[in-house]
Chains A and B, each alone.
Chain A
Amino acid sequence: MTCAPSSFSVPASYRSLVSVSVFFVCLLAMPYVLPNPYYVSTLTLACINAIIVVGLNLLLGFAGQISLGHAAFYGIAAYATGIATATYGLPMEAGFFIAVGLTGLVALLVGIPTLKLTGHYLAMGTLGFGIIVFIFLNESIELTGGPSGMVGIPRLALFGYEFWSDNAYFYLVSAVLCCILLLSLNLIRSRFGRALKAIHTSEKAAMCMGVDIARYKLAVFVFSALYAGVAGFLYAHYLGFVAPSSFGFHFSVQLIVMVVLGGMASVWGAVAGAIFLTVLPEFLRVFETIEPLIYGSILVLSMMFMPKGLAGGAEMLCRRARRLCGGLRAPAGAPEAGPQSGPESGQENGSTGALPTGQPPDAGAVRGGSNG
């Protein structure tokens, strides 16, 4: 099963380059399609979230290890760069290396003992870590500003260019997201990615095949924390303000929901889940009081009726569309749905292995039923 992707390796990585480029062009077009600065800022936050979720997806979706404390890494990075640049006046570049380096170091130190735990015990371990960091951010007032947060973090300026306009910042975040996507898509098709999937399927079998489980688990944990670190850096310099409430348990859960709603073990699904769940509450603002009610219902209903997430749903739609068109290959259609629905099913056919083979009889039965 895991051999299949490697045989497609060359065309698959070419495909991912194409799909990421299409996605990037769509993102670049967004400020023209939605000229309202509020939409652009929402999309910027959505892309920042997508960076964390793609990383968490490597850990949760591919390696099958849960982390209920991922918001902590995001918070550590945001505060680290904030303290470095605002309190100590260091340059941004230093802030970046401090933020990402510290996140990686903390992940390494926490990961070594924590990843010995499995299942619900691992969930509890990471949850406990997240809560400890949250309480630390809240209580060490002289360093972090306490519950009211930290203001005056400078707007991002790299190598002399200051990202003052919202659009410029959005382009930067889009570019980072696309780099991260390319990296992740290639990573999951590498030896590393195959080892992760083997660990997910059966740790014992993976161990018997000579996979150093402990090292791979730790590596993917640190790796996903680094993604969150990059996102935290971008977040802090975008808003210019950080408060502990953005990095609590609630956000960790939201990140997991983004992974699962998007579709586990699908890089594009993670992006779709992150964008959907960041943009959705903004639309629900209209309904004010019933917003959480609608949010909760969408969560429950989509899990009940679309258990493989948005990626699974889009894949099924694509397959049906393809059959209706008589085997015509559906290219990336509408610019907005394209990158999320079109290329992704092609990617995932190659990478998930087990999922597509389980699908066709199902979809066939549904179609047969509709014909009859």
Chain B
Amino acid sequence: MTPVAIMDLSSFLQYLFSGLTVGATYGLTGLGFTIIFNTTGVINFAQGEFVMLGGMLAVAFQALLGLPLPVSVVLAVLGATLTGAVVERLAIRPVRTAPHINLIIITIGVSILIRSLVMLLWDRDTHTLPHFSGTEPITVGGATLMPQSLWILGITALVLVALRAFFSRSIFGKAMLACAHQRKAAWLVGISVEQMVLLSFMISAFVGAVGGVILAPMTMTAFDVGILLGLKGFAACILGGLGNPFGAAAGGLLLGVLESFGAGVISSAYKDAFAFIILLLLLFVRPSGLFGKAEVKRV
């Protein structure tokens, strides 16, 4: 805690804001991982690609077709959601009984496919999306906060609340939880497990794309940003405890904040390493993540 004590309030707030902003996107990506993991037991390595698609499609609609920003954003998210559905139908459903390691390889292949298609149809350059509501920074306690950060935190909170409501109130959400709990039992009571898997791919693509769209104005986006975002999202959901969507969101925020403080206090060069070292140390102490049930086999 000493570095924080030495640090003055304004830089403390600055690191906190930037950490929370980036962490929210890690959280949304991690959320996508857990939703698919819960219904299929598979880590979808194309999750980062959904995030990239959100940002890149929004840029494409906005810059190429000249559509207004809100319309492009909505279309981009819908486009990514549709891609999620297509991926499930074409690449996952035909082989759903295959061993998990094969499914993971397929998702890696799908991520290469999506990445190279975007690169071919669009380009290799980095692009940026206009900020949603101007770039006039807000000053809070000596730290500056971009309005886009508020958008990111607000929309992330909204998505979390909506998902919570979806899982606890809607019949589809409950059916998905049932699948996550016991596939066979869910199937026996008449839940279409196939539909739920399709739905889970669509929801996770949706959530990932929302993350990509809201982050794009803050950081540049390009065809290959999905790899690192995907890795951070994976780290976030492991940090939170795999299988717990809200743990993933919390894990993402925590990871973002750790990274931001690590970069500010220790060294920006080792920013990414810092987050992963903390993650590894945590895994060695608590092998099931922060909020995971401690039922993971420890031999």
A binding-site residues for B, Cβ under 8 Å: 60, 66, 113-114, 116-121, 123-125, 127-129, 131-132, 135-136, 139, 203, 207, 213-214, 249-250, 253, 256-257, 260-261, 264, 289-293, 295-297, 299-300, 303-304, 307
In the complex, chain B residues whose CB is within 8 Å of the CB of A296: 109-113, 115-116
When the two chains form the complex, which single residue of B227, B284, B297 contacts A203, counting CB atoms closer than 8 Å? Answer: B297
29 A-B pairs in the complex with CB atoms less than 8 angstroms apart: A113-B284, A118-B287, A118-B297, A120-B238, A121-B289, A127-B234, A128-B276, A131-B276, A135-B273, A139-B273, A203-B297, A207-B299, A213-B299, A214-B299, A249-B231, A250-B227, A256-B105, A289-B119, A290-B116, A292-B112, A292-B116, A293-B113, A296-B110, A296-B116, A299-B106, A299-B112, A300-B113, A303-B95, A303-B105
Closest to A290 in B: B120
Q: What's the least CB distance linking A112 to chain B, in Å?
A: 10
Q: A66-B101, A295-B112, A299-B105 are in contact. Are A117 and B276 (CB under 8 A)?
A: no
Please determine whether A116 and B287 come into contact, CB atoms closer than 8 angstroms.
Answer: yes
* B interface size (C-beta, 8 A): 45
Per the bound structure, the CA–CA distance linking A151 and B251 in Å amounts to: 40
Per the bound structure, the CA–CA distance linking A127 and B98 in Å amounts to: 24
Please determine whether B101 and A304 come into contact, CB atoms closer than 8 angstroms.
Answer: no
In the complex, chain B residues whose CB is within 8 Å of the CB of A119: 296
Per the bound structure, the CA–CA distance linking A43 and B8 in Å amounts to: 58
Please determine whether A257 and B119 come into contact, CB atoms closer than 8 angstroms.
Answer: no
When the two chains form the complex, which single residue of B111, B115, B283 contacts A125, counting CB atoms closer than 8 Å? Answer: B283
- Give the number of residue pairs across the A-B interface with Cβ within 8 Å: 128
Please determine whether B299 and A303 come into contact, CB atoms closer than 8 angstroms.
Answer: no
In the complex, chain B residues whose CB is within 8 Å of the CB of A257: 105, 108
- Whether a CB of chain A sits under 8 angstroms from the CB of B3 is no
- Whether a CB of chain A sits under 8 angstroms from the CB of B270 is yes
- Whether a CB of chain A sits under 8 angstroms from the CB of B5 is no
Please determine whether A124 and B235 come into contact, CB atoms closer than 8 angstroms.
Answer: yes
Please determine whether B299 and A116 come into contact, CB atoms closer than 8 angstroms.
Answer: yes
Please determine whether B120 and A121 come into contact, CB atoms closer than 8 angstroms.
Answer: no
In the complex, chain A residues whose CB is within 8 Å of the CB of B106: 299-300, 303-304
Q: What's the least CB distance linking B21 to chain A, in Å?
A: 22
Q: What's the least CB distance linking A320 to chain B, in Å?
A: 22
Please determine whether B231 and A139 come into contact, CB atoms closer than 8 angstroms.
Answer: no
Please determine whether B227 and A249 come into contact, CB atoms closer than 8 angstroms.
Answer: yes
Q: A116-B284, A125-B280, A125-B283 are in contact. Are A297 and B231 (CB under 8 A)?
A: no
Per the bound structure, the CA–CA distance linking A80 and B236 in Å amounts to: 32
Q: A116-B287, A260-B101, A292-B115 are in contact. Are A300 and B109 (CB under 8 A)?
A: yes
- Whether a CB of chain A sits under 8 angstroms from the CB of B272 is yes
Q: A116-B299, A264-B101, A300-B109 are in contact. Are A128 and B280 (CB under 8 A)?
A: yes
In the complex, chain B residues whose CB is within 8 Å of the CB of A125: 280, 283
Interface centre among B98, B117, B272, B273 (most CB of A within 10 A): B273
Per the bound structure, the CA–CA distance linking A135 and B280 in Å amounts to: 15
Please determine whether B296 and A124 come into contact, CB atoms closer than 8 angstroms.
Answer: no
Per the bound structure, the CA–CA distance linking A249 and B299 in Å amounts to: 27
Per the bound structure, the CA–CA distance linking A119 and B238 in Å amounts to: 11
Per the bound structure, the CA–CA distance linking A66 and B99 in Å amounts to: 14
- Whether a CB of chain A sits under 8 angstroms from the CB of B277 is yes
Please determine whether B284 and A260 come into contact, CB atoms closer than 8 angstroms.
Answer: no
- Whether a CB of chain A sits under 8 angstroms from the CB of B6 is no
- Whether a CB of chain A sits under 8 angstroms from the CB of B29 is no
In the complex, chain B residues whose CB is within 8 Å of the CB of A250: 227
In the complex, chain A residues whose CB is within 8 Å of the CB of B272: 131, 135
Q: Digit string of B91-127 for contact with A (CB within 8 Å is 1, else 0)?
A: 1001100110110011011111101110110000000
Q: Digit string of B273-291 for contact with A (CB within 8 Å is 1, else 0)?
A: 1001101100110011100
Q: Digit string of B238-249 for contact with A (CB within 8 Å is 1, else 0)?
A: 100010000000
Per the bound structure, the CA–CA distance linking A253 and B104 in Å amounts to: 11
Please determine whether B116 and A303 come into contact, CB atoms closer than 8 angstroms.
Answer: no
Q: A131-B272, A203-B299, A260-B105 are in contact. Are A124 and B234 (CB under 8 A)?
A: yes
In the complex, chain B residues whose CB is within 8 Å of the CB of A66: 101
Q: Digit string of B249-280 for contact with A (CB within 8 Å is 1, else 0)?
A: 00000000000000000000110110011011
Closest to B235 in A: A124
When the two chains form the complex, which single residue of A118, A131, A304 contacts B273, counting CB atoms closer than 8 Å? Answer: A131
- Whether a CB of chain A sits under 8 angstroms from the CB of B52 is no
- Whether a CB of chain A sits under 8 angstroms from the CB of B43 is yes
Per the bound structure, the CA–CA distance linking A131 and B277 in Å amounts to: 10
- Whether a CB of chain A sits under 8 angstroms from the CB of B298 is yes
Per the bound structure, the CA–CA distance linking A339 and B78 in Å amounts to: 50
Q: What's the least CB distance linking B283 to chain A, in Å?
A: 6
Interface centre among A120, A260, A297 (most CB of B within 10 A): A120
Q: What's the least CB distance linking B215 to chain A, in Å?
A: 20
Per the bound structure, the CA–CA distance linking A291 and B116 in Å amounts to: 8
Q: A299-B109, A300-B110 are in contact. Are A118 and B296 (CB under 8 A)?
A: yes
Per the bound structure, the CA–CA distance linking A119 and B288 in Å amounts to: 11
Per the bound structure, the CA–CA distance linking A210 and B74 in Å amounts to: 59
In the complex, chain A residues whose CB is within 8 Å of the CB of B276: 128, 131-132
Q: What's the least CB distance linking A352 to chain B, in Å?
A: 14
Q: What's the least CB distance linking A204 to chain B, in Å?
A: 9
Interface centre among A121, A139, A260 (most CB of B within 10 A): A121
Per the bound structure, the CA–CA distance linking A79 and B116 in Å amounts to: 31
In the complex, chain B residues whose CB is within 8 Å of the CB of A264: 101
Per the bound structure, the CA–CA distance linking A193 and B250 in Å amounts to: 42
